[in-house]
Amino acid sequence: MTPVDDIISGIDTLKPIPPLAAQIMALAEDENSSTVEIADLIVHDPSITASILKICNAAYFGLSRQVNSVRDAIVLLGLDEVIELVLLNATAENFRDEPAGYGLGEGELWHHAVISAHTAKILAENHGFATQKHLIFTAALLKDIGKIIMGRFVAFSYEKINILVHSKGYSFSEAEKEVIGINHAELAARVGQKWRFGDQLIYMMRHHHMTDENARGNPETALVYLADIICMMIGYGTGADGLAYRFYSEVLDRMKLTEKDLQNAILNTGYRRQKLDKLLSLV
Ligand SMILES: [Fe+2]
């Protein structure tokens, strides 16, 4: 078994995505599906009901009455919010422990995942990709799941990675690839394959750092990439890899976004930060 095979076999240590969340992800990728179909899945899945009701009835949402069913939650909070809660609930378990090697504090990887998912969703809504917002949200949420497995290998090779980043001009993911033989984005894509995600979702996870030039022309992946950059700029998930990633201004140009748009997105994310921090404590 090669070291890379050893790392890939670590995917089996993750808690698999529950069937409901996997079905939502598949529908989110299918252009012919509707949010009504997603709602139908959620209300007919008894396993999710208890956790959704617990979250919805927390003071955080400030609802005027008790939520007694998933249908209630959809009426009171809106379907989009409930879909996001299901996806967060499905993925939170894997992010409970911060991975070694990335210099992240307790819960920081999870915070980064959730804030970047919300940021990517808002970018999608504001820049013409509203119909794909659940797909873009999911890709941003799961893009760094490879770090959970890679962590101990990064910790072991940290000195070599650090030299490449600080003395040779490598980005962190380029250095991971060079030293370890695979980077966390490729590993996230492997997770997606193992969990039978759709091709588009896997593609977005694999290319979220845009190291492949071709991916820079893919608008959905670009939104995930920009959300990641924005979160790092405001200090979410800035561990050892911190800002050691490349900023490709051509991505903004291709998306017809200006620096002002980027600044506004940074401000919006900063503004929502406190609210999302409270939500994170509930999931
Ligand atoms: Fe990443």
| Contact indicator for 104, 237 with CB cutoff of 8 Å | yes
Amino acid at 24: I
Which range, 36-50, 62-76, 91-105, 169-183, has the best average confidence (pLDDT)? 169-183
pLDDT for the residue numbered 251? 93
Give the Å distance between the CA of 59 and the centre of ligand 1: 33
How far is ligand 1, taken at its centre, from the CA of residue 185, in Å?
Answer: 6
Distance between Cα 229 and ligand 1 center (Å): 10
In the structure encoding, which two tokens stand for residue 264, read together?
A: 């506004």
pLDDT band at 99 (very low <50, low <70, confident <90, very high): confident
Going from the Cα of 72 to the center of ligand 1, the distance in angstroms, rounded, reads 36
Question: How far is 242 from 240, CA to CA, in rounded Å?
Answer: 5
Q: How far is the CA of 20 from the centre of ligand 1 (A)?
A: 26
pLDDT of 119-128, one tens digit each?
A: 999 999 999 9
155: pLDDT confidence band, cut at 50, 70 and 90? very high
Instruction: Give the pLDDT of residue 154.
Output: 94
Cα–Cα distance, 263 to 260 (Å, whole number): 5
User: Cα(7)–Cα(5) distance, rounded to whole angstroms?
Assistant: 5
Radius of gyration of the chain (CA): 18
Ligand 1 centroid to residue 34 C-alpha, Å: 30
Tell me how far apart the alpha carbons of residues 79 and 19 are, in angstroms, rounded to a whole number: 19
- Sign of CA pseudo-dihedral 207, 142, 196, 219: negative
Alpha helices, H only, the chain: 3-9, 19-29, 35-43, 46-56, 70-77, 79-91, 108-126, 133-142, 146-156, 158-167, 172-180, 184-194, 199-206, 219-233, 249-254, 259-280
| The model's pTM | 0.92
Cα–Cα–Cα angle for 97, 221, 194, nearest 5°?
Answer: 50
Select from 28, 157, 153, 4 the least CA-distant residue to 80.
28
SS (H, E, C) 177-236: HHHHCCCHHHHHHHHHHHCCCCHHHHHHHHCCCCCCHHHHHCHHHHHHHHHHHHHHHCCC
Distance 57 CA to ligand 1 centre (A): 33
Ligand 1 centre distance from Cα of residue 184 (Å): 7
Q: What's the gap in Å between 40 CA and the centre of ligand 1?
A: 33
- pLDDT at position 243 is 64
CA of 68 to the centre of ligand 1 (A): 38
Confidence tier at 5 by pLDDT (50, 70, 90): very high
- Average confidence score pLDDT of the chain: 90
Question: Ligand 1 centroid to 272 CA: how many Å?
Answer: 22
Tell me, in angstroms, the distance from the centre of ligand 1 to residue 265's CA: 19
Q: Is the dihedral of CA 15, 274, 109, 84 positive or negative?
A: positive
Percentage of the residues of the chain whose pLDDT score is greater than 70: 99
pLDDT of 164 reads: 95
Say which CATH superfamily domain 3-280 falls into: Hypothetical protein af1432 (1.10.3210.10)
pLDDT confidence of residue 175? 95
User: So what's the pLDDT on residue 60?
Assistant: 72
**216-264 per-position pLDDT tens digit:** 999 999 999 999 999 988 887 777 776 678 899 999 999 999 999 999 9
Q: Which residue has the higher pLDDT, 104 or 183?
A: 183
CA of 192 to the centre of ligand 1 (A): 14
Domain ranges of the chain: 3-280
Give the per-residue pLDDT at 278.
74
Cα dihedral value 207, 174, 258, 188, nearest 10 = 30
Q: Tell me how far the alpha carbon of residue 124 is from its chain's centroid.
A: 14
Instruction: Give residue 80 CA to ligand 1 midpoint distance, Å.
Output: 25
Measure 143 CA to ligand 1 centroid, in angstroms: 6
pLDDT in tens, 193-217: 999 999 999 999 999 999 999 999 9
